[in-house]
Structure 1
Amino acid sequence: MYIEKIYTPSDLKKLTIRECQELAKEIRKALIVKASKKGGHLASNLGMVDATIAIHYVFNSPTDKIIFDVSHQCYTHKILTGRKDAFIDEELYNTCNGYTNPVESEHDVFRVGHTATSISLACGMAKARDLAGGKENIIAIIGDGSLSGGEALEGLNFGGSEIQGNLIIIFNDNQMSIAENHGGIYKNLQQLRETYGKCENNLFKAFGYDYLFVKDGHDIEELVKTLQSVKDIDHPIVVHICTVKGKGYEHAQMNKESTHWVRPFDIESGKEKNPFNGARYDYIIRDHLIEKMKKDERIVTMIAAVPGALSFSEEYRKQIGRQFVDVGIAEEHAIAMAAGIAKHGGKPVFATMSTFFQRTYDQISQELCINKMPATMIVVNASVYSADDVTHIGIFDIPMMSNIPNLVYLAPTNRQEYIAMLDWSIDQTEYPVAIRAPRNGVFDAKGEVDVDYSELNKYKVVSEGKEIAIIALGDFFQLGEELSDKIKKIYSINSTLINPRYITGLDKTLLTDLIKNHKLIITLEDGVLDGGFGQKIASFYGPQDMKVLNYGLKKEFLDRYNISEVMEKNHLCADIIAEDIKNYV
């Protein structure tokens, strides 16, 4: 096998083109087998195998800099740069992560997990190289789905006119984002494909780039010839290659969207090995939204290239037609568009991952909150229980969003509360509202839930007690229940348990009342403590004779962590907290 002989890119260069073609087959097999056992980004990587081989065959990494966009297409790159064992030895599967990572290898330039970044990063490296008098090639790899991202267009705009030296953009066109592409830019890409890059309208030339077209992005020989022709070029150029997402695995080619990222599956059938059959909030909210949209044509559900945020697969998107909008990888545009929809009488609901909301801070502040536009934002994967790669962790949204004036940020604790908050948010006309989707499992309410949240910052006392009050936010409410039981068992104290519901404000009346017969306030939040919910409670009690203990997460970049270890380290366990408070009881 050729794959076993590849330790560095220099080993690859010793192979003939025919041998490289055999290597590509071996790499695809390794990718499929590993994904079937561990999960990961499958279809997106299968489509880039041949191109990555050609890139390393021609260029001289790490002297030449290869910058992956998103970097979820970097598995072959990792195999060719000394990390093959992590893809062919099951015992070593966990030794490298799914994104480029300079800590792992000098061949990885950046650690990134947000898309549309590679061209801007490459422009910066090219500018620094030129100032230093360097000669290395700077190569940015970007997919067609990423071109809908504003940063990609900003990078294109700058690089084509402002970089005077070598800048090579390898544009991987597989006619797909995670799902299908959306936007007018893709009409020109279709023209370029149909004319073999010769049509008069050419997006890349319009931005000032030289341009080459490769019809078959899986033809290693043709790719090598083309890349050799642009190596050491003295000006910016785009090499447009056409590939097939999922290439080499029929199930992936036929199911490009569902195999973009996979859980462990059976290779022969393509079926997930251990499908989750319990209740899921993405299914619950998707189905609820569909029913609401059928009754009210003013409701528009919006996503930014990640329909999986609410499990809106193609069949569900078709059900609601024009009331479903995928803006592509353009989160800023989505928020601004939502403000426009709301201004003109529509009822926008935008859902995406917590980590992607980081891109929308300006639009939430300016377009939504200053103008008080009644749009609904569903913040998905906002939890320590969610994605564990450092580029996708969702624990920073509370400080970011809760400090924007006019925004109402809600934290449901159960199924009924989540639906009630969503219904209220969609129908009210006073506030921009964000809802932090729970991530610790689906729980049902133990009683009636409120349906009107217009009286802002009104906390809910779930059980009344004395001496100790537990204010447990969102999906840490169940931890609060467990802690309350533990305190009663150990200290014979009936504590007060509070579901605050509102992340963005304080129930000053309730907090003041607690002073009468409580000595200790405990806050629990599923996010970083610095600038978060608990610190606002502590600040309120600053002038008072009240002890406040804030429990949440340390401000740090967690990466591929063990959830139990993180929870224990941050004392987010009922037993540990109960031990912590013994000196206060």
Structure 2
Amino acid sequence: MQLKDIKDPKDIKTLSIKELESLSQEIRHFLVDSISKTGGHLASNLGAVELSIALHYVFESPKDQFIFDVGHQSYTHKILTGRASQFETLRQHQGLSGYINYQESIHDVWESGHAGTAVSALHGVLKAKQLKQEAGTAIALVGDGSITSGMSFEALNLLGSDPSLKGIVILNDNNMSISKNVGALSKVLTLLRGNRFLMKLRNGIARITPNLLVRVYRRFKRMIKAFFQSGNVFEELGYVYIGPIDGNDLKTVIKTLKQAQKMKKSVVIHAVTEKGKGYEVAATDNDGKFHGVGSFDKSTGNPTKINHHGMTSFSEVISTAMIAYQHIQKTFVVMPAMLVGTKFEKFYQQFPDRLIDVGIAEEHAATMASALSRNGIQVFLPLYATFSQRAYDQIMNDIARSDTKVIFGIDRAGFVGDDGSTHQGLYDVSMFYSMPNVVITMPYDAKEAFDLLHYGFSQSHPFVIRYPRLETPFDSNHLPSFDPITLSWPILSEGIAQVWISYGPGLDLLQKAKSTLHIDARIINARFIRPMDLTTLKEALDLNVPVFVYEEAFGSGTLYHHILDYMAKEGYHQKIRNMSVKDIIHHGSRTHNQMDAKMDLTALMEALKDL
């Protein structure tokens, strides 16, 4: 069977186990080959091939709904639902999404780019089917990193207590989320997981032992375990626990799913898988570098992306600044499972006692950071902009309301490109603007990043430093110094015909527009998004010329609206326009994101000419 010939999951139901095993190998070769060209989530998908095949072999999608936690491990599901021919467009503009997408297929029933939602969605699907008296069940495929989130436990607790509903949770346990898993539950899973060799030996014995003896042995084993052990966490929550099983053994997984299918009670299947299976470079990666990748050389695993000489990502700049800052004063980093993504591996290597990885638990991270700060610790909390939204209430009540000093590193702020709509960093500015006491900043370059970080630790309020998924000129051998910086808006380019205001990468677009249009505009770097530099703003408004504000953020409650408010209060009446994001932005390159938002250079120049 050619992968591109698969149009429907029913196409694989007539295959033998041996043919399904061949299919799994073909899928792995296809994924490595395809992702090496387009980039995407590699290791997680390689580990979940057999689980995905078995789901479609045993159940009937979409009558039986498959809920993928996060969704970036759904590539095999996409192949089996007829999308193999589209993989050359994976994460490309208007191409195949790297996550579950409602618009792509009737088999994509739950969109999520954030961890921990699958069991809640499972409960909702099961309740809806019950209320509608509708046939079919639902199965949640949850990673061992996602299962540790608070939301997962809230849902597990409620679903496990409801005997009228029966769902299946597959715990995909590869001992990693992006980075290594942390916490007590991770240790529990390690104990439950047991010795991988013994598990394979047990499965082998099961194959050659008469079925009656196997059943007797399993019942005897459960009796002994129940006598000497307290129940595991899932049994205590009311589930039938099956496992651990070898999640990369198709025959075992299919047999287990059929067993769970017959049960009357909700089930947790603990499937131990190998992240990166079938591709040695990814399988031996213990740091999470092959979780999400750009294009790479299949033979070596090395990225094929051209490294721009003298350029470094803003993430690397901030982490380097944090290392250097330890010589000025000691700080403590609360890290929500993004050690690799935020480039803090070197910090952790040098200062292991000054960083704690709390796992996928942004709400906990925010409240813990507040308590640390209120007890005299200088705290840095790095979050992707999209993940900061998950902790709105904790940031609002435990940090902003009480004016508690926590320094937030808001990574991947603005357009994020190929990760798509669930990961766009466009909502944090209006989110933080809605909270009292929070200072919001964005550096234009590496030097300004160093100085703003120093400013943040030197002041006494909650402090946000946003930075984009972009590179900036940076020499790691000659680091910028930490110099005092004032609450001010530097003027990047003088002019008197118009006033243009932006921050971060928007300033580059404005400067390109000025050089092309030859408009005598004053370009202002609003590096302090809040509070505003009213002195510089008043001087600019006193020119009594048109004003333009460009923000790579969702256009609600951002800097533009606060400039408008100031102008209304102070009696300014000149023309003012803005450019910001007005709609959901999907995947593609950063340039495509700008075009979709009608915020690219061409659209900007048209707006400025109209102004």
Could you state the TM-score of these two structures normalised by the residue count of structure 2? 0.87
CA distance in structure 2 between the aligned counterparts of 1:331 and 1:459, rounded to whole angstroms: 32
Residues 496, 546 of structure 1: CA spacing in aligned structure 2 closer, same or farther, 3 A cutoff?
Answer: farther
- Which residue of structure 1 lines up, in the alignment, with residue 464 of structure 2? 434
Contact 2:417/2:590 (8 A) holds in 1: no
Q: How big is the shift at 1:39?
A: 1.1
Contact 2:87/2:96 (8 A) holds in 1: no
CA distance in structure 2 between the aligned counterparts of 1:147 and 1:245, rounded to whole angstroms: 16
For CA contacts below 8 A with separation 6 or more, give which structure has more relative contact order: 2
Q: Which amino acid aligns with 1:301?
A: V
- Which residue of structure 2 lines up, in the alignment, with residue 246 of structure 1? 276
Unaligned 5+ residue runs, structure 1? none
CA distance in structure 2 between the aligned counterparts of 1:272 and 1:126, rounded to whole angstroms: 43
- Which residue of structure 1 lines up, in the alignment, with residue 378 of structure 2? 347
Contact 1:375/1:431 (8 A) holds in 2: yes
Q: How big is the shift at 1:317?
A: 2.5
Correspondence 1:555 to 2:582 = yes
Aligned 1:172-321 pairs, distance under 5 A: 172-194=172-194, 198=225, 199-256=229-286, 257-277=288-308, 278-293=311-326, 296=329, 298-313=330-345, 316-321=347-352
- Which residue of structure 2 lines up, in the alignment, with residue 56 of structure 1? 56
Q: 1:377 aligns to what SS in structure 2?
A: strand
Aligned 1:63-212 pairs, distance under 5 A: 63-87=63-87, 95-162=95-162, 164-194=164-194, 198=225, 199-212=229-242
CA distance in structure 1 between the aligned counterparts of 2:125 and 2:382, rounded to whole angstroms: 34
CA distance in structure 1 between the aligned counterparts of 2:598 and 2:36, rounded to whole angstroms: 35
Q: 1:542 aligns to what SS in structure 2?
A: helix
Residues 228, 202 of structure 1: CA spacing in aligned structure 2 closer, same or farther, 3 A cutoff?
Answer: same
Q: How big is the shift at 1:135?
A: 3.5
Q: How big is the shift at 1:215?
A: 2.7
CA distance in structure 1 between the aligned counterparts of 2:88 and 2:546, rounded to whole angstroms: 54
Contact 1:376/1:434 (8 A) holds in 2: yes
Q: How big is the shift at 1:270?
A: 1.4
Q: Which amino acid aligns with 1:116?
A: G
Residues 363, 451 of structure 1: CA spacing in aligned structure 2 closer, same or farther, 3 A cutoff?
Answer: farther
Residues 566, 553 of structure 1: CA spacing in aligned structure 2 closer, same or farther, 3 A cutoff?
Answer: farther
Q: How big is the shift at 1:378?
A: 0.7
Q: How big is the shift at 1:469?
A: 1.5
Q: How big is the shift at 1:466?
A: 2.5
- Which residue of structure 1 lines up, in the alignment, with residue 215 of structure 2? none
Deviates more, 1:504-513 or 1:107-116: 504-513
Residues 550, 125 of structure 1: CA spacing in aligned structure 2 closer, same or farther, 3 A cutoff?
Answer: same
Q: 1:503 aligns to what SS in structure 2?
A: strand
Pick one of 387, 402, 411 that aligns with 1:371: 402
Q: 1:122 aligns to what SS in structure 2?
A: helix
Aligned 1:380-459 pairs, distance under 5 A: 380-384=411-415, 386-428=417-459, 430-443=460-473, 451-452=483-484, 456=487, 458-459=488-489
Deviates more, 1:250-259 or 1:534-543: 534-543
Contact 1:519/1:546 (8 A) holds in 2: no
Correspondence 1:521 to 2:544 = no
Contact 1:51/1:217 (8 A) holds in 2: yes
Contact 1:144/1:177 (8 A) holds in 2: yes
Q: 1:334 aligns to what SS in structure 2?
A: helix
Q: How big is the shift at 1:89?
A: 9.5
Q: Which amino acid aligns with 1:281?
A: F
CA distance in structure 2 between the aligned counterparts of 1:262 and 1:214, rounded to whole angstroms: 29
Contact 1:137/1:232 (8 A) holds in 2: no
Identity in percent = 32
Contact 2:442/2:503 (8 A) holds in 1: yes
Contact 1:293/1:320 (8 A) holds in 2: no
CA distance in structure 2 between the aligned counterparts of 1:67 and 1:83, rounded to whole angstroms: 18
CA distance in structure 2 between the aligned counterparts of 1:91 and 1:557, rounded to whole angstroms: 16
Q: How big is the shift at 1:179?
A: 0.8
- Which residue of structure 2 lines up, in the alignment, with residue 537 of structure 1? 563
Contact 2:98/2:419 (8 A) holds in 1: no
Contact 2:591/2:600 (8 A) holds in 1: no
CA distance in structure 2 between the aligned counterparts of 1:192 and 1:90, rounded to whole angstroms: 36
CA distance in structure 1 between the aligned counterparts of 2:91 and 2:356, rounded to whole angstroms: 43
Q: How big is the shift at 1:94?
A: 7.3
Could you state the TM-score of these two structures normalised by the residue count of structure 1? 0.91
Contact 2:430/2:556 (8 A) holds in 1: yes
Contact 1:480/1:497 (8 A) holds in 2: yes
CA distance in structure 2 between the aligned counterparts of 1:59 and 1:566, rounded to whole angstroms: 37
Q: CA RMSD in A?
A: 2.7
Q: Which amino acid aligns with 1:11?
A: D
Pick one of 490, 507, 531 that aligns with 1:505: 531
Q: 1:337 aligns to what SS in structure 2?
A: helix
**Partner deviation per Cα, 1:395-446 (whole Å, 9 max, x = no partner):** 1211111221100011111111111011121233x1010101144431589x
Q: Which amino acid aligns with 2:564?
A: A
CA distance in structure 2 between the aligned counterparts of 1:309 and 1:239, rounded to whole angstroms: 30
Contact 1:293/1:323 (8 A) holds in 2: no
- Which residue of structure 2 lines up, in the alignment, with residue 469 of structure 1? 499
Q: How big is the shift at 1:576?
A: 5.0
